[in-house]
Homo-oligomer: A and B are copies of this chain.
Amino acid sequence: MELQVHYEEKPCYEIVIETDPNRLPEKLGAMAIKNRKLCIVTDSNVGPLYAREIQALLAPYAKEVIVHTFSAGEENKNLNTVSDLYRDLIEHKFERSDMLLALGGGVTGDLTGYAAATYLRGIDFVQLPTSLLSQVDSSIGGKTGVDFDCYKNMVGAFYQPKLVYMNLATLKTLQEREYLSGMGEIIKHALIKDREYYQWLQANLSAIKEREVSVLEEMICRSCEIKRAVVEQDPKEKGERALLNFGHTLGHAIETLKVDTYKKELALGSKEASLLLHGECVALGMLASMQISKERGWIDPTLCQSVKKMFLDLELPITTSGITPEAVIQASKNDKKMEDGKVKFILLHGCGEACIDRTVTEAEMKTALDSILEESF
């Protein structure tokens, strides 16, 4: 299954959806890898599972294939990790004509894409997303970047991959919680753009939970199509692309604060300390945004109920604890989804109908956050 992505009206790269990696040599062969060095960039979780396999698969077709592994975790998505990668590339004498392959989830794709955008003023890179979240969302559209100090994706570049190749078989090795977390972004696609897709998700929920391949294929393909349509229309987020930030304004703030809380709990010796995954934070952010939309009378309360039910079925959180509404509001003001000092919100006018809104007041945020933040902490 192949989807062509355009950039500024010209064909730019393909999204290839397969259930094995076998067509990768053919797809990369078309990019003359015979004369190019490849560096597979991966993290300490995904590397041991797939890096050697991909290296062995490509070695006969490329000039040289090396593997660079960094420590897994969002906390390593920073300029130090990128610098380690630069050093490895310099040591192996990588030149402008060589290529990086991002093998892993969203952190790996974002970080590798950023290194590719900036090493020698830009070398080619390919996305080999292995998580549900990266397959349907972060690998498509050319957003690359790393966190800076406590700010998510503060440093980055718009830089398009040369190919996105996903092997859905990798989803089998995803931990249950990580897999389900990816559903956060998928439900987002349905809620902002496609009511029918939302209904399809409802109807196929148990097959999705069972990771039935044919259902996964259809779902991933539909989500990729939605993401593609949005980024083709607005590659640099000057307008419409912001709709993909549905759930992210407060979601990112919650994600950042939960990391702080987690570190404090660890320092106090807590054994129950836990982080929220990105998709889980987006789920909470979407509920808060829907709460605002509901309070404004823009959407029916039954839609909120239906989404909450779907989240519960998928073991996505509908509340969290340990952080205050005030802290979330403050953190969201530091986020980059600001314009002229106003926080940019994505709200819903119905299922499949999102809009950008810059009029959300702090009082509205507070009410919405009260509905997802438990007081006990």
Contacts and interface: CB of A to CB of B under 8 A. Distances in A.
When all copies of this chain in the complex are counted, the total is 2
A74 to B, nearest CB: 18
A interface majority secondary structure: mixed
B151 A90 contact: yes
B157 A157 contact: yes
A338 to B, nearest CB: 5
A333 to B, nearest CB: 9
A79 B90 contact: no
Contacts of A341: 93
A118 B156 contact: yes
Given A79-B79, A83-B79, A90-B149, A155 B336 contact: no
Interface string A71-101: 0000000010001001100100101110000
A148 B118 CA distance: 11
A3 interface: no
A145 B97 CA distance: 18
B340 A97 contact: yes
A154 interface: yes
Contacts of A153: 121
A43 to B, nearest CB: 22
A150 to B, nearest CB: 10
Interface size class of A (residues with CB under 8 A): 35 or more
Contacts of A273: none
A153 to B, nearest CB: 8
B121 A340 contact: no
A144 B117 CA distance: 12
Interface of A: 35, 79, 83, 86-87, 90, 93, 95-97, 117-122, 143-145, 148-149, 151, 153-158, 236, 334, 336, 338-341
Given A96-B339, A97-B340, A121-B153, 19 more contacts: A79-B79, A86-B148, A86-B154, A90-B148, A93-B338, A95-B339, A95-B340, A97-B339, A118-B118, A118-B155, A118-B156, A119-B155, A120-B154, A121-B144, A121-B145, A121-B158, A122-B158, A122-B236, A157-B157
